[in-house]
Chain A
Amino acid sequence: MTNTVDTPTDASRATPPSGLIAVARAPGWVRYALLAVGLGVAAWLPNGLYPAVAVDILCWALFAVAVDLLLGFTGLMSFGHAAFWGTSAYVTGLVAIHAGLPFPLAVLAGALAAAVLAVPIGYLAVKRTGIYFAMVTLAFAQMVYYVANEWRSVTQGENGLQGVPRELFGLDLTDDYFFYYAILPIVLLGLAAAWRIVHSPFGRVLVGIRDNPARARALGYPVHRYKLTAFVLSGFIAGLGGGLFAVGHRFVSLDVLHWTTSGKAVIVVVLGGIGTLWGGVLGAALVVRLEDWLSFSGFEAIGLVTGGIFVLVVVLFRRGIWGSVAALAHRLAARRR
């Protein structure tokens, strides 16, 4: 994977800095310790933060991991993932309101709808790579936004879907604290699925395609089909997050489909560390917490801060948090040897 001799220059430049290798080499006990710490924090979170913020963090963690699955492990930067997050939010909301199903089933319906939408968008988008892929996905997501905006009889337009119920076999989940624990298993399942995908033979092929598409094709892998499959899986996981987000807020507005939402998802991943999977979870926690704090303290221009983070991270901190820590740990371990 470090062999770049016969890699076309453009392709090797397109390779995002990867923390994957360093993390995968970490000794077993380190990984189990990290897992234990992560689960511990997840179990404690709503005791240390506002439960509503903790719920948002879980949803955004799924979103970020979905984007990283493409950006970090397939080398495709989707700048239109709000289409899947938002479509699932609307479908989840509609199913929950009109069918009165338990919310996990509504979320599943939403995520499936997102995955179905990801098929045509992905089919068209994977025909292009690099920056064009970003522009094409952004454009299609904007189309979805316009459709939702215009289709008022279903989406209620600017008013949004109100009163999305949190139905779960008659349990009282109105308190965000309990709702957090109700969705935690679903989120962990989604994260585990992403981990499983990345570490499966399928995921290794994706990384191979990311690093050297020409060679992957020469080895007989149907590159487009692999990319499309990754895109649809990513759309599904983003949809899980979006559906839970809708139930969590009991409200769906057009914001969930807006291009700023797509951009925020990408920057959350870059901040956490591209190609690190769990970095996105950290990034989500930081950005959601920061935005909550800003809006709580009455600061109006949140975009100023989000945009500032964008610029700083891209200029100074491209490895992201997880990537930097992994690289540091790797260097320390190498010195000890």
Chain B
Amino acid sequence: MSGFAQNTFNGLVSGAFYALLALGLAVIFGMLRVVNFAHGAFYMLGAFGAYVLLSEAGVPFWAALVIMPVGLGLLGMALERAVIHRLTKLDPLYNFLLTFGLTLILQDLVKLRYGVQSSPYETPSLLSGSVDFGLFDFPTYRVFILGFAVLLCVAVWWVLTRTRIGMVVRAATERPDLTRAFGIDVGRWVTPVFGFGIGLAGLAGVLAAPMRAVNPLMGADLIIVVFAVVVIGGLGSIFGSVAAGFGIGLVQAWGEAYLSNFPLVSQTIVFVVMAGVLLWRPAGLFGREEAPA
């Protein structure tokens, strides 16, 4: 039983990363109709930035947790203004290609400077050790990640449903033209929302630094899994994306633990689930039907 709790907990923690990345993707997609391939690259930059800040300037984890998301968010906003913005009127495929190109560039820039080997990042001392939950104890750092991610998702949900900004963003997501007709300047919110999504990816990256190997390629493989996650949840649905993120984390952890005879399971189970969802509900578990095509 404690094994089950252990696996469930680990699944939720890795699900938290999927959820944070899927949340950013979904928010950006809702507002801009852009599927940001570079999301994984920004996750990697978050982790790498934290590593470089610590090893070269002695900036601690807590500072990096603020600096990297804000810095990357600003970079994202600049990027949106400079290039992505030019292509939003066109087929979304063009922005997908553009951000794919950006991914290759960002990855190789980091590779060129720091090589491809993984770098260790020490867990902040405040969060080392483990928390005792009576029957089981979990590493403090992982408990922190899970709590932090859940808190963030709830905060985003609160902003989207309970504040004026959230209402504007949701309205603009559903009916941009009608929202504009009400005299609301939709365009004003596009760049900040993009920056926010990128900031979330950067934040996930900083959180990942002490837990996962920091290297230039850490984001790319992850983002493809996150694409499968948002196809499962339905990219149009923010709730669906987050739920699917945690769900896939759980399914992967359970698969890894109870189907350990099949080493492929943990890596491919997400794609199998995606295939099932495409058969059963092509629009995603929480998505709405697209226009028939």
Interfacial residues, chain A to chain B (CB-CB below 8 A): 8, 10-11, 13-16, 77, 79, 124-125, 127-132, 134-136, 138-140, 142-143, 146-147, 150, 213-214, 217, 223, 259-260, 263, 266-267, 270, 300-304, 306-311, 314-315, 318
Q: Is B267 close to A, CB under 8 A?
A: yes
List, in ascending order, chain A residues with CB within 8 A of B35's CB: 131, 134-135
Q: Is B264 close to A, CB under 8 A?
A: yes
Q: Tell me whether A138 and B224 are in contact in the complex, defined as CB-CB below 8 angstroms, given that A14-B91, A213-B293, A311-B102 are known contacts.
A: yes
Could you tell me the distance between the alpha carbons of A10 and B33 in the complex, rounded to whole angstroms?
11
A143 engages B220 (CB within 8 Å): no
A300 engages B101 (CB within 8 Å): no
A303 engages B271 (CB within 8 Å): no
Q: Tell me whether A310 and B96 are in contact in the complex, defined as CB-CB below 8 angstroms, given that A131-B35, A259-B220 are known contacts.
A: no
Could you tell me the distance between the alpha carbons of A15 and B293 in the complex, rounded to whole angstroms?
13
Q: How far is the CB of B9 from chain A (nearest CB, A)?
A: 25
A307 engages B83 (CB within 8 Å): no
Closest A residue by C-beta to B106: A307
Closest B residue by C-beta to A130: B92
Q: How far is the CB of A208 from chain B (nearest CB, A)?
A: 13
B293 engages A139 (CB within 8 Å): no
B264 engages A146 (CB within 8 Å): yes
Other-chain contact of B105, A10, A303, A314 (Cβ < 8 Å): A303
Could you tell me the distance between the alpha carbons of A131 and B88 in the complex, rounded to whole angstroms?
13
Q: Is B230 close to A, CB under 8 A?
A: yes
Q: Is B260 close to A, CB under 8 A?
A: no
A314 engages B101 (CB within 8 Å): yes
Closest B residue by C-beta to A266: B97
Q: Is B93 close to A, CB under 8 A?
A: yes
**A-B pairs with beta carbons under 8 Å apart, 25 shown:** A8-B291, A128-B282, A134-B93, A136-B231, A138-B227, A139-B270, A139-B274, A142-B221, A143-B268, A150-B264, A266-B97, A301-B108, A304-B104, A304-B105, A304-B109, A306-B104, A307-B100, A307-B102, A310-B102, A311-B98, A311-B102, A314-B94, A314-B97, A315-B83, A315-B87
B263 engages A150 (CB within 8 Å): yes
Q: How far is the CB of A112 from chain B (nearest CB, A)?
A: 22
List, in ascending order, chain B residues with CB within 8 A of A130's CB: 91-93
B279 engages A301 (CB within 8 Å): no
List, in ascending order, chain B residues with CB within 8 A of A136's CB: 231, 274, 278
Chain B at the A interface: mostly helix, strand, loop or mixed?
helix
Mark contacts of B260-281 with chain A using CB atoms, 8 A cut-off: 1 yes-contact digit, 0 otherwise. Answer: 0001100110110011001100
List, in ascending order, chain A residues with CB within 8 A of B275's CB: 124, 140
Q: Is B57 close to A, CB under 8 A?
A: no
Other-chain contact of A135, B90, B227, B263, B292 (Cβ < 8 Å): B227
List, in ascending order, chain B residues with CB within 8 A of A302's CB: 108
User: Which residue, A147, A214, A260, A303, has most C-beta atoms of chain B within 10 A?
Assistant: A303
A11 engages B227 (CB within 8 Å): no
Closest B residue by C-beta to A134: B96
Mark contacts of B80-123 with chain A using CB atoms, 8 A cut-off: 1 yes-contact digit, 0 otherwise. Answer: 00010011001111101110111111011101100000000000
Could you tell me the distance between the alpha carbons of A310 and B98 in the complex, rounded to whole angstroms?
6
Q: How far is the CB of A312 from chain B (nearest CB, A)?
A: 8
User: Which residue, A13, A213, A223, A310, has most C-beta atoms of chain B within 10 A?
Assistant: A310
Interfacial residues of chain B within 189-227, with CB under 8 A of chain A in the complex? 220-221, 224-225, 227
B93 engages A77 (CB within 8 Å): yes
Q: How far is the CB of B115 from chain A (nearest CB, A)?
A: 10
A150 engages B227 (CB within 8 Å): no
List, in ascending order, chain A residues with CB within 8 A of B267's CB: 146, 150
Q: How far is the CB of B247 from chain A (nearest CB, A)?
A: 16
Q: How far is the CB of B37 from chain A (nearest CB, A)?
A: 9
Other-chain contact of B293, A16, A124, A129 (Cβ < 8 Å): A129
A131 engages B278 (CB within 8 Å): no
B231 engages A129 (CB within 8 Å): no
B268 engages A303 (CB within 8 Å): no
Q: Is B45 close to A, CB under 8 A?
A: no
Could you tell me the distance between the alpha carbons of A263 and B92 in the complex, rounded to whole angstroms?
16
Q: How far is the CB of B275 from chain A (nearest CB, A)?
A: 5
Other-chain contact of B100, A125, A131, A223, A263 (Cβ < 8 Å): A263
Closest B residue by C-beta to A132: B231
Q: How far is the CB of A132 from chain B (nearest CB, A)?
A: 6
Q: Tell me whether A267 and B101 are in contact in the complex, defined as CB-CB below 8 angstroms, given that A129-B293, A138-B224, A139-B224 are known contacts.
A: yes
Q: How far is the CB of B58 from chain A (nearest CB, A)?
A: 29
Q: How far is the CB of A44 from chain B (nearest CB, A)?
A: 32
